[in-house]
Amino acid sequence: MQIADSAFVSKFLVGENCPVIWFVGLSGSGKSTVAKYYVEYLTSKGLACVHLDGDDLRKGLNSNLGFTETERLENLRRAAEVAVLFKNAGVVPVCSFISPTHEVRKTIASICGNSYREIYLKCSLECCEERDVKGHYKKARNAEIANFTGISSPFEVPLNSFATLDTENNSLEICRQQLIQLFEF
């Protein structure tokens, strides 16, 4: 059994002191990759964590929602409510959702309260299209996917994020170290 780093864990208390870490950015910007790494890191420090991912929630809890502006808002509202449930139970929610507009992010922040820590993964549309591991950008460009963020649906660059990680110009390792430093105690 691993013993938790008590000084580190004491900073992540149940309730308002437990952060809701919310990664935002275009598809392909590295949200899920960075979030998975961060969950592993926090777990290694003895914290209970959960990764809430947009793709996973759309397969289950939010499978009845499409991608219109109204449905996206409802998808993210539900995700934020789930994150708060975990936070209140002392489990650090690490969330990776495109969260495309200022309005949507404002709604998420209002649900999560002072615990909300938005981290923007900065990566150009061109770079995300080059990465396109899921083939979504190609399908969106061919009009096979409607309302695709960055192509036929807007993505508004966050104005007031807790932090920005440049995943286009920095290696994953550099982004990992920057992320660790954000919450270093």
Within a domain: residue 97? yes
Class of residue 142 by CB neighbours under 10 A (exposed 0-12, middle 13-18, buried 19+): exposed
Q: How far apart are CA 156 and CA 118, in angstroms?
A: 14
Provide the pLDDT confidence category of residue 11 given band limits of 50, 70 and 90.
Answer: low
Provide the pLDDT confidence category of residue 88 given band limits of 50, 70 and 90.
Answer: very high
Q: Is the pLDDT of residue 27 over 80?
A: yes
| Residues assigned a catalytic role | 99
pLDDT in tens, 113-142: 999 999 999 999 999 999 988 889 999 899
Report, as an integer, the average pLDDT of 34-53: 92
Give, in degrees to the nearest 5, the angle at Cα 96 between 111 and 135.
Answer: 135
Within a domain: residue 148? no
pLDDT at 57: 87
Range of the domain at 114: 18-124+153-180
Within a domain: residue 137? no
Within a domain: residue 93? yes
Within a domain: residue 9? no
Question: How far apart, in Å, do the first and last CA atoms of the chain sit?
Answer: 23
Q: How far apart are CA 21 and CA 35, in angstroms?
A: 9
Within a domain: residue 112? yes
pLDDT at 38: 92
Tell me how many domains the chain contains: 1
pLDDT at 14: 45
CATH number, domain containing residue 58: 3.40.50.300
Indicate the pTM of the whole model.
0.88
Within a domain: residue 113? yes
Nearest to 85 by CA among 104, 64, 103, 111: 111
Within a domain: residue 5? no
